[in-house]
């Protein structure tokens, strides 16, 4: 296999949501105003910035980034549950970063304190999830977490759930969902570090502040949102965030620990796929075991162990049905823990979590002969992956569409396929779990500018 190349994304779009301001503000023009009396909201400005060009599909270029690895703030058990860190402790890797305000890293926190109002957004939507993060807001400031937000949100009553952080707001103080729900008897938070835990399940949203539940809200309105991006807000004053972690809630297992029900060997496979002691053991190769079911947009959690030094495997996705002549026409999430010169920022063969031939992993956190947990989000043309909770890939496929992901962008559903790479293959799969996303986010109230 050839080593892959990486593509750091420029921002897709900057969305400015002016959900609530504690001080009097100049009124926006009528075309940018949506009346929400309970929230007194000022809304809807958006700015476009270009997307970086993708590398050539089979480019052998490696990463030029110097990665300062910081272990994610997750326990071993949490990583196995599918928790992932959205902040690597050193950079804004993995986010769509607006250029109109100064989002940056200070110490161990994401910080913003000047520029225009904006959102730091995930490049993918989340539907049912658990989130936790620490936050710090300066005295008199205004910020918030935007849950299931539209890309170009204009109205907090319809386009997002804005979990406010603002002690001085006249109606929707800290902990409230702007224009939707008022949290009562919430302690002031400005000037110190605090923690949010958020649980979004269907129309129900629950929030805990420093371990105490402050919100239990079920949205019965016509504007209920079941999916959307996650955003951190720049509104007024200095805001800081750290330990931002999330877990998809609807993982279901595709391995039953007893046999290969739901899977089939691809014709011509030389690999052996056998279940023993609850593990799916893969040996010999080449060969593939693919799901009978197909998947399009999903989060996938894989627990696997490579039983040898620098051995090679992978999990293919959105793959065409395998045949003897074309056994693996899909995207591949690489499983390979080898590194060059003892440097984990230099994967020997793209690295575990890479989208092979498309983008290399920026770091190799996992070790051979130990179980690793890899999480992949595949949503439309956006792909992100984590290994042991640490994000290693953030990539957008900008190629022309093609039914075969080896030749172009495939958005349609396809099979998952486990790879036996060659005669040296020796690995175990403990879990292959999938969280299927519920659908596209509702469009924003305001059109793109």
- Condensed to tens digits (0 to 9), the pLDDT of residues 334-356 reads 999 999 999 999 999 999 999 99
What is the C-alpha separation between 43 and 240, in angstroms, rounded? Answer: 22
315 neighbors 300 (Cβ within 8 angstroms): yes
Q: DSSP states of 273-305 as a string?
A: EEEETTEEEEESSSEEEEEEEEESSEEEEEEEE
CA 229, CA 130: separation in Å to the nearest integer? 14
CA dihedral over 89, 91, 97, 98, signed as positive or negative: positive
Q: State how beta strands 272-276 and 279-283 pair.
A: antiparallel
Contact by Cβ (8 Å): 410, 399: no
Q: What is the pLDDT of residue 152?
A: 85
Whether the CB-CB separation of 196 and 133 falls below 8 Å is answered with yes
Q: What is the CA radius of gyration of the chain?
A: 22
Positions of CATH 2.60.120.560 in the chain: 14-248, 252-436
d(CA 300, CA 296): 11
Low-confidence ranges of the chain (pLDDT < 50): 1-63, 440-449
Report yes or no on whether pTM surpasses 0.75: yes
DSSP run (H or E) holding 420: strand 414-420
**For domain 14-248, is the CATH number 3.30.70.20?**
no
Q: What is the dihedral of CA 432, 149, 146, 45, to 10 degrees?
A: 140
Instruction: Specify the DSSP class assigned to residue 51.
Output: P
CA–CA distances in Å: residue 379 to residues 26, 96, 131: 39, 15, 19
**Do residues 372 and 363 lie in contact, with contact meaning Cβ atoms separated by under 8 Å?**
no
Whole-number Cα distances in Å, 44 to 116, 118, 335, 341, 444: 13, 10, 43, 50, 10
So what's the pLDDT on residue 230? 98
Residue 299 is predicted with a pLDDT of 98
Taking a C-beta distance cutoff of 8 angstroms, is the pair 244, 109 a contact? no
Count of beta carbons in the 10 Å neighbourhood of residue 194: 18
Please give the Cα distance from 92 to 94 (Å, whole number). 6
Using CA atoms of 335, 339, 345, 346 in order, give the dihedral in degrees to the nearest 10: -100
> What pLDDT sits at residue 26?
30
Rounded Cα gap, residues 40 and 402, in angstroms: 47
**Cα 210–chain centre separation:** 24
Residues 101, 234 contacting (CB under 8 angstroms): yes
Helix %, strand %, coil % for the chain, to 5? 0, 40, 55
Half-sphere exposure of 415 (CA within 13 A, CB side): 22
Query: Which residues neighbour 32 within 8 Å (Cβ) at sequence distance 6 or greater?
Result: 43, 44, 45, 154, 446
- In order of 223, 259, 329, 348, the CA distances from 162 in angstroms are 14, 46, 41, 43
Cα–Cα distance, 58 to 43 (Å, whole number): 43
Between the CA of residue 353 and those of 130, 334, 357, 387, what are the distances in Å?
A: 23, 5, 12, 6
Report the pLDDT value the prediction gives residue 432, as an integer from 0 to 100.
98
CB-based contact 229:146 (threshold 8 Å): yes
Distance CA 99, CA 323 (A): 47
Separation of alpha carbons 9 and 130, rounded Å: 26
Specify the pLDDT at position 64.
52
Distance CA 150, CA 444 (A): 5
CATH number of 252-436: 2.60.120.560
* Main-chain dihedrals φ then ψ at residue 81, nearest 5 degrees: -75, -10
Q: According to the model, what pLDDT value does residue 439 have?
A: 60
In angstroms, rounded to a whole number, what is the distance separating the alpha carbons of residues 409 and 235? 37
């Amino acid at each position: 296999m050839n080593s892959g190349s990486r593509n750091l994304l420029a921002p897709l779009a900057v969305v400015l949501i002016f959900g609530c301001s504690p001080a009097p503000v100049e009124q926006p023009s009528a075309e940018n105003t949506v009346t929400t009396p309970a929230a007194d909201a000022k809304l809807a400005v958006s700015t476009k910035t270009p997307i970086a060009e993708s590398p050539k599909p089979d480019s052998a270029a490696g990463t030029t980034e110097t990665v300062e690895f910081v272990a994610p703030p997750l326990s071993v058990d949490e990583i196995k549950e599918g928790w992932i860190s959205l902040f690597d402790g050193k950079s804004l890797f993995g986010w769509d970063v607006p250029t109109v305000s100064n989002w940056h890293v200070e110490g161990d926190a994401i910080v913003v304190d000047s520029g225009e109002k904006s959102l730091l957004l995930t490049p993918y939507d989340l539907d049912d999830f658990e989130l936790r993060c620490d936050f710090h807001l300066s005295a008199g400031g205004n910020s918030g977490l935007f849950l299931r937000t539209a890309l170009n949100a204009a109205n907090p009553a319809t386009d997002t759930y804005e979990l406010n952080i603002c002690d001085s707001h006249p109606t929707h103080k800290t902990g409230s969902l702007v224009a939707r729900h008022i949290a009562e008897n919430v302690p002031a938070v400005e000037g110190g570090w605090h923690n949010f835990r958020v649980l979004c399940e269907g129309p129900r949203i629950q929030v805990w502040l420093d371990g105490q539940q402050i919100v239990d809200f079920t949205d019965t309105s016509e504007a209920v949102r079941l999916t959307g991006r996650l955003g951190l807000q720049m509104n007024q004053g200095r805001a800081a965030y750290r330990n931002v972690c999330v877990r998809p809630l609807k993982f279901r297992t595709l391995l039953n620990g007893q046999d290969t029900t739901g899977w089939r060997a691809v014709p011509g496979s030389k690999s052996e796929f056998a279940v023993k002691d609850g593990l799916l053991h893969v040996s010999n190769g080449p060969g593939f075991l693919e799901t009978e079911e197909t998947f399009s947009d999903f989060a996938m959690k894989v627990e696997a162990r490579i039983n040898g030094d620098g051995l090679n495997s992978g999990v293919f996705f959105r793959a065409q049905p395998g045949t003897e002549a074309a056994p693996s026409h899909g995207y591949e999430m690489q499983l390979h823990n080898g590194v060059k010169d003892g440097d984990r920022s230099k994967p020997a063969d793209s690295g575990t979590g890479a989208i092979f031939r498309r983008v290399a992993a920026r770091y190799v956190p996992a070790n051979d002969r130990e179980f690793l947990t890899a999480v992949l989000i595949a949503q439309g043309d956006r792909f992100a992956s984590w290994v042991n909770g640490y994000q290693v890939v953030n990539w957008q496929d900008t190629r022309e569409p093609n039914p075969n992901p080896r030749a172009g962008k495939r958005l349609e559903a396809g099979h998952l396929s486990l790879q036996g790479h060659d005669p040296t293959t020796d690995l175990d799969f403990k879990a292959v779990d999938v969280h299927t996303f519920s659908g596209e986010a509702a469009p924003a109230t305001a059109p793109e500018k």
